[in-house]
Structure 1
Amino acid sequence: MPTHYEFRVAGHLSDRIRGAFPDMVLADAPPETIIFGEVIDEAHLHGVLALIQDLGLHVVALHEVPP
């Protein structure tokens, strides 16, 4: 069952990096950026975290958001 997650990453994201998350909502919350969206399962969660790491971003916080 899909769950919603909030990923908080350090800094402001460029348009190029924002484009890497087409199915997510991004919001500036200086000094962080919030990446919010639906995560289908644990494999998808690990995929999003791997993408964040591949882009060189630093995860400040990760929260499951209740429905």
Structure 2
Amino acid sequence: MNPAGRSYTIRVEGHLDEHWSARLGGLAITHDPAGTSTLTGTVADQAHLHGVLAGLRDIGAVLIALQAGETG
């Protein structure tokens, strides 16, 4: 795998507070007008991605979409 990681966009229901960013792998959180949140950023590897997804599960976020971008 490319050492730079892969970019991801993850959308969840509701507006997440910014303080969750650190717990969710440092991904940037933006609030969408439709009442959802979009997390974007680079994920180092599959273990990191699974950690982010586990963090979303742990805070009760409902996953709407997950999209992988170009390899960094």
TM exceeding 0.5: yes
Aligned to 1:6: 9
**Which residue is equivalent to 2:58?**
54
Amino acid corresponding to residue 61 of structure 2 in structure 1? L
- Ranges in structure 2 where 5+ consecutive residues have no aligned partner: none
Question: Quick one: structure 1 residues 39 and 27, their matched pair in 2 at CA, closer, same or farther if it must change by over 3 Å?
Answer: same
| Higher mean displacement: 56-65 or 26-35 | 26-35
CA offset digits 1:39-59 (Å, max 9, x no partner): 111111101000000011000
Paired residues in the alignment total 67
Deviations 1:1-50 (A, max 9, x none): 20000010001113443453462111111221000111111111101000
Identity of aligned residues (%): 31
Please report the TM-score for the alignment, with normalisation by the length of structure 2.
0.78
Q: Considering only aligned residues, what root-mean-square deviation do their CA atoms show, in Å?
A: 1.8
Q: Give unmatched runs, 5+ long, in structure 1.
A: none
